[in-house]
Amino acid sequence: MPTQTVSTSSPTRVSPADSPGFFRRFLTAMGVQNMSLLMAIAFVVLVIGTQNPLFFTVPNLKVIGTAIAISGLLAVVQTLVIIMGGLDISVGSIAGLASVTSAMIFTSAGPLIGVVGAVGIGLLCGLINGCIIVFGRVNPVIATLATLAAYKGIAQLISDGRAQGYTGADPFFVFLARGSVLGVPTLIWILVVIALGIHVLLRYTTMGRNIYAVGGNDVASRLAGININRYILGIYMMTGAVAALAGILITARTGSGQPVSGSEGLELEAITAAALGGAALKGGKGTIAGTILAVILLGILTNGMTLLGVNSFWQNVAKGGLLVLAVVLQQLRSGERRIGLPG
């Protein structure tokens, strides 16, 4: 250190004395977003539980868990795509395509090849999405809107619009649909494993960090040496694969490959959950924990209202209202300024 000059005083003006209290620290760790969701879940559980104590029974909890497994899977990967700054509207169609193909391949070649083939098709669909976006320079929303139509058409064509095959007698598919490990249904395990995996990926790996960076500022990420095209392709392929897995689960649950039924509209559900869980549609922000909480909130809401015998029309109204409420709470608690378009 030759000619030294000044060293600026203390870099921060926060004295060690005023370290935030434990409650504040917990809040920060949990995130305002997640706290509000937890509160909303607690509120809904309380209301429904007091109306009908059966809500709390283990079988019903299993019912909720298995009901959210498929949409949960899609919400989790959608979160990943959204954090990276993209969107994948084609997930429902990929799931449908995977559902029929898994059943058709299964019928001729057995469950394992059925699953592998379907996941392979999902990867291919994701790769196509990614290529259209990266090399065709098409906005992710339009690109996947287009492939939403195209993949659906392909699923209908190869199945001639009919449910395909019968997997209800195959031990593997039955295990997927109705089996359980350590008393917890397989479907829930699958969601937990995938969600945990992606959570770890996002939170603790260099790849995950880079995904946040790409979503936060793609120019900066590129200049910082991140190969962003590879990330975009990779994430879309991953999304395709998980969507295919969801399709296989649809096959397992319904006992046959469904080209459209059961997968149509899943994309909106997934996006709703991701956004409710705090993923910013502009990219760079979001957590798997938030998304999973949102999936749970939506799941118990549907289950609870059906359990209480709420008419399906009222369910729509209540769901919309509660969604607004949950997010408004979130936002007001985060103390953001009330100006302009919220991100």
- Interacting residues with ligand ATP between 13 and 32 (CB under 6 A): 13
We find the least distance from the C-beta atom of residue 73 to a second copy, in angstroms, to be: 19
Is 12 a binding residue for ligand ATP by CB under 6 A? The answer is yes
CB 27 within 8 A of CB 35: yes
Extract the tokens encoding 281. Answer: 């549609």
Question: Is 85 one of the binding residues for a second copy (CB under 8 A)?
Answer: yes
What is the closest distance, in whole angstroms, from the C-beta atom of residue 318 to another protein in the complex? Answer: 13
Beta carbon of residue 343, minimum distance to a second copy (angstroms, whole number)? 3
Interface pick for a second copy out of 61, 174, 281, 307 (rule CB under 8 A): 281
The one-character DSSP state at 181 is E
Residue 206 found at the interface with ligand ATP (CB under 6 A): no
Closest CA to 238 of 108, 46, 86: 86
Q: What does 333 bind: ligand ATP, a second copy, another protein, none (CB cut-off 5 to 8 Å by kind)?
A: none
Of residues 10, 50, 108, 206, which one binds ligand ATP by CB under 6 A? 10
Q: Which long-range contacts (CB under 8 A, 24 or more apart) does 37-44 make?
A: 37/276, 37/277, 37/290, 37/293, 37/294, 37/297, 37/326, 37/330, 38/293, 39/329, 40/297, 40/322, 40/325, 40/326, 40/329, 41/293, 41/296, 41/297, 41/300, 44/297, 44/300, 44/301, 44/304, 44/322
Report in angstroms how near the CB of residue 15 gets to another protein at its nearest.
Answer: 8
How far apart CA 123 and CA 101 sit, in angstroms, is 13
287-306 binders of a second copy (CB under 8 A): none
Residue from 166, 192, 234, 281 touching another protein (CB under 8 A): that is 166
Smallest distance, another protein to C-beta of residue 186, A: 7
Is 73 a binder of another protein (CB under 8 A)? no
Confirm or reject binding of residue 2 to ligand ATP (CB under 6 A).
no
Check residue 161 for interaction with a second copy (CB under 8 A).
yes
Taking the C-alpha atoms of residue 279 and residue 75, their distance in angstroms, rounded to an integer, is 11
105: contact with a second copy by CB under 8 A: no
Residue among 301, 303, 285 nearest 293 (CA): 301
The contacts of residue 159 (CB under 8 Å, 6+ apart) are 100, 104, 257, 259
For another protein, the binding residues in 259-298 under the rule CB under 8 A are 259-265, 280, 284-285
| Residue range at the interface with ligand ATP (CB under 6 A); choices 6-14, 50-58, 255-263, 271-279 | 6-14
CB of 318 to a second copy, least distance (A): 8
For 40, residues 6+ apart whose C-beta sits below 8 A from its C-beta are: 297, 322, 325, 326, 329
Q: Which of 42, 112, 116, 224 binds another protein (CB under 8 A)?
A: 224
Task: Choose, by CB under 6 A, the member of 6, 7, 11, 313 that binds ligand ATP.
Answer: 11
Residues found near ligand ATP in the complex (CB under 6 A): 10-13
